[in-house]
Structure 1
Amino acid sequence: MDDTPLDTYDARAIATAYLGFGAIGILGGELVLSTLFGTQMASPSAIGKGLLFVVVSSLFVGFLVNRKNERIAQQQASVRTSLEKLENIVSASPIPIVSVTPDRRVTRWNEAATETFGWTRDEVLGAQLPSVASDRQVGVEEILEQTTREDGLSNVEIELERRDGTVGEFLLSTALIRNRDGDVVELVGVLVDTTEQKHRERRLREFEMAVEQAGHAIYLTDPDGTITYVNPAFEDITGFTRCEAVGETPHILKSGEMDDSYYDELWATIESGETWQERIIDQRKSGELYTAVQTIAPIQRDDEIVGYVAIQSDITDAELAQQRLGVLNRMFRHNLRNRMNVIDGYAEMIRNDAEDEDNFHRANNIVTAANELVALAEKAQTVADLLESDGKTRCVTDLVDEVADRARSCHPEATVGVDIEPDVAHLVDNRVGVAVDELVTNALEHGGETVQVDVYRSPVDDARLLIRVSDDGPGLPRGEWDAIERGGETPLEHGTGMGLWLVHWVVTKAGGSTQLDTTPLGGAAVTLKLPIDDGSGEESDDDTELHVES
């Protein structure tokens, strides 16, 4: 029987037809037999019994057909209900679900597909599967062929472009719908958008690579302080391998040099959710002590501390180098000043007792050289003091005006011009005044007779001020500035003084940079590019003066 449901009229028709054919068969059969073979017709009671049987049979057939109709109708209703539920599930699914015919015409396109790819359901139903031309676009024909060949795909990673041209990453699973002849009539695809997940995975891999390749020792602990991870730099610095460190506590690094109050304060800080950063002396596996700057921060999830991350920067060599430089610097300045005083004293005696002009000039040169060396030592002290001090803020206009006034007082024969752009009375690091003073003084003593100081806002960066010191002198030797740009001097290529280094170091310390140009008259022009202070630092009214020869 056909699966098409039969209605009540069809059941009555079949029963009536069965009754009619049965009655005709009984009556017609009796008539044919009587006519052709001359047999006696059955009695009316027998014919009546036969007709009664046909009637009963017809009713029974009608009953069976009607029951069949009811069952089919129930099955069809159940199928329709299931299809409606399935359609509702597909429509409400947060995952894009798309169906196409073998020739790529869209038959199903849910709301999630619209939200993900940008095309509406009305735009795509019955039309060719939409796509955006791109080198990264997945081969739709290839997927359709592979789905048919393998009777469906499962979690295939693909890239698809959306309507706006952005690329998304998806996991594609497909299934086939066939007709009763086994021919494919529809291909259903379910796409799970993994773009954000893949992005997070890549970021996590990048983070892991950064931690693994970091030059600082990094280790993680659980809330109780048990080490759960160390990076390769930790192994290199401490001497403990990953296997030796994981499962232990940072106590394995304890040197005994830090008192208990240090660790009490450390734990009190990080358990309160704050970050700890202090200098520490730890011990390597070999027993060797090392000095590090250690930062420990809590790892929190929903206001709950789930662990800690610690970063150590080994400063042992840097600290020793700083100590050596400090000692050598003090010894150099002290001994140099003492010896120069002796040389200066004897040279003065020789100059005073000189009976001829040549000896007088020789003694005078010795005195001059001694004074220059003393001045150089004092400048070295100034540089050291400035770089070790904490900068304060000062109004740039006051700073520049003070330098100009001092220069005019010391060099009344020279011209010192100042041009300050309106509305640039901002705060800058007060140590910059030493750099400006050095440039102006150097220009007046070794340049020409005119020095110009211009102050203006950077045309390319509103957060920076420019101070340009220019002169009309012979200009700076290129080798002097090459050493600054190179970042160091060599035995064959070096400057003749410390002035430009002082400027460079001070401006760099203040967060700025320097640039050398020439003026139209051939002189030198040095531009200081300085960050504008937001006023959060302490403003200084102290006068910082420096006037030494370069």
Structure 2
Amino acid sequence: MDETPLDTHDGRAIATAYVGFGAVGILGGELVLSTLLGTPMASPLAIGKGLLFVVVSSVFVGFLVNRKNQRIARQQASVRTSLTKLENVVSASPVPIISVTPDKQVTRWNEAATETFGWTQEEVLGKQLPEVTSDRPVSVDQILDQTTEEEGLSNLEVELRRRDGSVGEFLLSTAVIRDDDGDVVELVGVFVDTTAQKQRERRLREFEMAVEQAGHAIYLTTPDGKITYVNPAFEHITGYTRDEAVGETPDILKSGEMDGSYYESLWETVESGDTWHERIVDQRKSGEFYTAVQTIAPIHQGDESIGYVAIQSDITESELAKQRLGVLNRMFRHNLRNRMNVIDGYAEMIRTDAANEETLDRANNIVTAANELVALAEKAQTVADLLESDGSTRYVVELIDEAVTRAQSYYPDSTATVDVEPGISELVDNRVGVAVNELVTNSLEHGGETVHVDVFRSPRNDERLVIRVSDDGPGLPKGEWDAIERGRETPLEHGTGMGLWLVHWVVTKAGGSTRLGTTPLGGAAVTLELPIDDGDDDARDDSAGVERTLRGTTLDSTDE
């Protein structure tokens, strides 16, 4: 469409020309007829009437042309306004809008495209389209060809590379613009960024897979306790299928073993927004009781609770194993002590009545073996008690002092030195004292005449302390530590006692780690790395008076 339409001056010119041609036609026609044919000329009145008709007709024609011009002008103004509005809409659009020629020359690139892909309008307009496709999806040429063939695309999923190299996921819709001859002049693309949405969908699928494959029973409920979802582990543990459980309440699992106050406390906790974590005895569909550790937490959407998630870990077998071990341990210790007392009594009788040195030595061996078995049973009980107890905190210097002093009292002819790094006054788990005592005692018994205990801050982490016990003895047998690193013993590869296992278990329970090394002289060096416990102000106040600096102190029989 011509953007410079005829104006009113053009309408007047047409009217004037119409008058001129009409007047010339009338007068010239009369003159030609009169001259060539000899006919008399029309009267002035007739000629005047003709000229008046021409003038009136010219005015009317000029009026019509002027009206048409005004109408065209209004239409063109409306088109220009629409185009301006469209340009503003495209520029302000929150989604990227890009148009290119068939040879990929950029003709439109809005601000959203700059924010999304990184290139500015100055860098792309009138130039070739930047390479935005990633390695995986279809190419730009394929998209342009498909757009032309199908007269546009709708919601095509594509992956596009941004200027910084990152790849985004988009829904692309395209359109074709043709000229009057039907040739393609532009291809327009609108991009909806679905990167965050796709990531959420993937996380949701991963979460769903994790819940479905979890080994713990997981179920969801509405705020009033109606079950809306159970995972396969729930079906396996409880015996109820998903169809049987959904729509019911967790009451289907009630065994009658938990009193009403348990459930009152449970609901009071979760309805207040807190998490419930307690042991429970529930009942399977088969009627069999099972013991579980149950965690229930509210699910919040904003400030509103929309339901609850519950996780049950079936500990029935571990509870039974603990009970069996407890009973066997009690029976073992009780019967062992009684039988050892009998053996010890008979050995004393043999020793008293011994007629020769050989019989006396055998009796002594029996007494020694009996005492060692009783000591082993006592150590096993110590391990069990420690691992089942909740640790408290003690100053590390005080703990080391007490552990070394106790070990030293059993071997007064040996020497134990303690060196504490200046400024060390932190609290650690008090159960570690048993591990230190075990290491020092073992070193004094088997490791040589001198044992060193060093206490210093971990060079790798200021929040951890290191206690290293080293000696100048022959070192620990390789099999002793190999069994601990494997986490189990075998009939052919095992330790000779329970000491290192005790150290390993106690330190691990306290949140620390244990490493075995050697000293330059070939002796053993066991390193404990422990977390520092902040404790509380009361613990620090109560212990302030008992902290002692053992730096450079030698503990021997004279210290007793």
Q: TM > 0.5 between the two?
A: yes
Q: Structure 1: which amino acid aligns with 2:62?
A: G
Letter of the aligned partner of 1:73 in structure 2? Answer: A
Q: 2:153 touches 2:173 (CA, 8 Å); kept in 1?
A: yes
The alignment-based identity, stated in percent, is 80
Q: 1:218 to 1:37 in 2, by over 3 A?
A: same
Shift of 1:2: 6.2
Amino acid at match of 1:506: V
For the 8 Å contact 1:300–1:306, the answer to whether it is kept is yes
Cross-structure match for 1:63:
63
Instruction: Tell me how far 1:136 sits from its aligned partner.
Output: 4.9
Secondary structure, aligned partner of 2:243: helix
What SS does the aligned partner of 2:355 have?
A: coil
Match of 1:25 in 2: 25
Shift in Å, 1:538: 7.6
Instruction: Give 1:462 shift.
Output: 2.9
* Deviation at residue 128 of structure 1 after TM alignment: 2.2
- Kindly provide the amino acid, as one letter, of the partner of residue 417 in structure 1: T
Matched-pair contact (CA < 8 Å) for 1:3–1:72? no
**Is residue 170 of structure 2 the alignment partner of residue 170 of structure 1?**
yes
Give the partner amino acid of 2:342.
Answer: V
Whole-Å separation in 2 of the counterparts to 1:378 and 1:311:
38
- In the alignment, the residues of structure 1 paired with residue 409 and residue 287 of structure 2 have an alpha-carbon distance, to the nearest angstrom, of 62
Q: What whole-Å deviation, never above 9, does each CA across 1:394-419 have from its counterpart, x for those lacking one?
A: 22222223333344444343332323
For the Cα contact (< 8 Å) 1:216–1:234, is it kept in 2?
yes
Q: 1:54: how far off? A: 1.8
Q: Aligned partner of 1:68: which letter? A: K
Mapping for residues 288-299 of structure 1, pairs under 5 Å: 288-299=288-299
Is 1:261 aligned to residue 261 of structure 2? yes
Partner of 1:74: 74
Q: How far off its partner does 1:466 sit? A: 1.8
Cα offset for 1:316? 1.0
The worse-fitting range, judged by mean Cα deviation, of 192-201 and 296-305 is 296-305
Give the Cα–Cα distance (whole angstroms) in 2 for the partners of residues 261 and 120 of structure 1.
67
- Counterpart in 2 of 1:145? 145
**In the alignment, what sits opposite 1:547?**
none
The answer (yes or no) to whether the contact 2:282–2:291 under 8 Å persists in 1 is yes
Following superposition, the deviation at residue 137 of structure 1 comes to 7.3
Would the aligned equivalents of 2:408 and 2:441 in 1 still touch at CA under 8 Å?
Answer: no
Q: Supply the AA of the counterpart residue of 1:108.
A: R
Per-residue deviation, 1:226: 1.0
Structure 1 CA distance, aligned partners of 2:444 and 2:467?
A: 17
Q: How does 1:339-354 map to 2 (within 5 A)?
A: 339-354=339-354
Give CA-to-partner distance per residue, 1:298-355, whole Å, 9 cap, x none: 1122322211111111111111111111111111111111111111111111112111
Return the letter of the residue paired with 1:263.
Answer: Y
Distance 1:196 1:103 in 2: 32
State the alpha-carbon separation in 2 of the partners of residues 86 and 373 from structure 1.
Answer: 94
SS at match of 2:103: coil
CA contact (8 A) 2:133 2:140 kept: no
Instruction: Tell me if the contact between 1:152 and 1:175 (Cα under 8 Å) persists in the aligned partners.
Output: yes
CA contact (8 A) 1:237 1:284 kept: yes
Q: Is the 8 A contact 2:133 2:159 kept in 1?
A: no
2:240 is matched with 240
Question: How does 1:468-479 map onto structure 2 within 5 Å?
Answer: 468-479=468-479
User: RMSD over aligned Cα, in angstroms?
Assistant: 2.1
1:280 and 1:512 map into 2 onto residues whose CA distance is 31
Cα 1:427–1:367, aligned 2, differ >3 Å: closer, same or farther?
A: same
Specify the alignment match of 2:39 in structure 1: 39
1:191 partner SS:
strand
- Matched with 1:487 is 487
Partner of 2:301: 301
Q: 1:165 to 1:483 in 2, by over 3 A?
A: same
**Aligned mates of 2:534, 2:134 — CA distance in 1:** 48
**Partner Cα separation in structure 2 for residue 362 and residue 18 of structure 1:** 151
Cross-structure match for 1:161: 161
Structure 2 unaligned segments of length 5 or more: list them.
Answer: 547-560
Supply the distance in 1 between the matched residues of 2:440 and 2:537 (Cα, whole angstroms). Answer: 27
Q: What is the alpha-carbon distance in structure 2 between the residues aligned to residue 156 and residue 134 of structure 1? A: 15
Q: What does residue 282 of structure 2 align with?
A: 282
Letter in 1 for 2:202: R
- 2:3–2:76 CA contact under 8 A, matched in 1: no
Q: Does the 8 Å CA contact 2:97/2:108 hold for their aligned counterparts?
A: yes
The 8 Å contact of residues 408 and 414 in structure 2, kept in 1 or not, is answered as yes
**1:110-509 equivalence runs, <5 A:** 110-131=110-131, 135-136=135-136, 139-509=139-509
Q: Match for residue 83 of structure 2?
A: 83
1:548 equivalent in structure 2: none
Once the two structures are TM-superposed, the CA of residue 4 in structure 1 deviates from its matched residue by 5.1
Residue 519 in structure 1 maps to residue 522 in structure 2: no
**Cα distance in 2 for residues equivalent to 1:261 and 1:406:** 47
Superposed CA deviations along residues 213-245 of structure 1, whole A, max 9, x for unmatched, are: 111111111112111111101100111100111
CA–CA distance in structure 1, aligned partners of residues 35 and 416 of structure 2: 150
Amino acid at match of 1:91: S
Q: SS of the residue aligned with 1:279?
A: strand
Counterpart AA for 2:169: E
1:534 CA drift (Å): 2.8
Does the aligned pair in 2 maintain the 1:392–1:539 contact within 8 Å?
Answer: no
Q: Which amino acid aligns with 1:212?
A: E
Q: 1:36 to 1:396 in 2, by over 3 A?
A: farther
Q: Is the 8 A contact 1:138 1:160 kept in 2?
A: no
- CA distance in structure 2 between the aligned counterparts of 1:139 and 1:425, rounded to whole angstroms: 67
Contact 1:132 1:165 in 2 (8 A): no
**Greater shift in the superposed pair: 62-71 or 11-20:** 11-20
The corresponding residue for 1:546 is none
**Which residue in 2 is equivalent to 1:95?**
95
Instruction: Encode CA deviations 1:337-379: one digit per residue, 9 max, x unaligned.
Output: 1111111111111112111111111111111111110110110
Q: Which moved more, 1:32-41 or 1:149-158?
A: 32-41
Matched AA of 1:254: K
Q: Which moved more, 1:3-12 or 1:47-56?
A: 3-12
CA shift for structure 1 position 11: 1.5
The size of the alignment, in residue pairs, is: 543
Q: Does the CA-based 8 Å contact 1:435-1:503 persist in structure 2?
A: yes
Stretch deviating more after TM superposition (151-160 or 21-30): 21-30
Write out the 4+ residue segments of structure 1 that deviate beyond 6 Å after TM superposition. 540-543
Deviates more, 1:310-319 or 1:104-113: 104-113
Distance 1:534 1:119, change over 3 A: farther
- Matched-pair contact (CA < 8 Å) for 1:137–1:161: no
User: Does the 8 Å contact 1:456/1:466 carry over to 2?
Assistant: yes
- Structure 1 gap segments, 5+ residues each: 544-550
Q: Distance in 1 between matches of 2:471 and 2:465?
A: 20
The structural deviation recorded for 1:287 is 1.1
Deviation per residue, 1:464-507 (Å, 9 max, x gap): 22222111111111111111111111222211100000001001
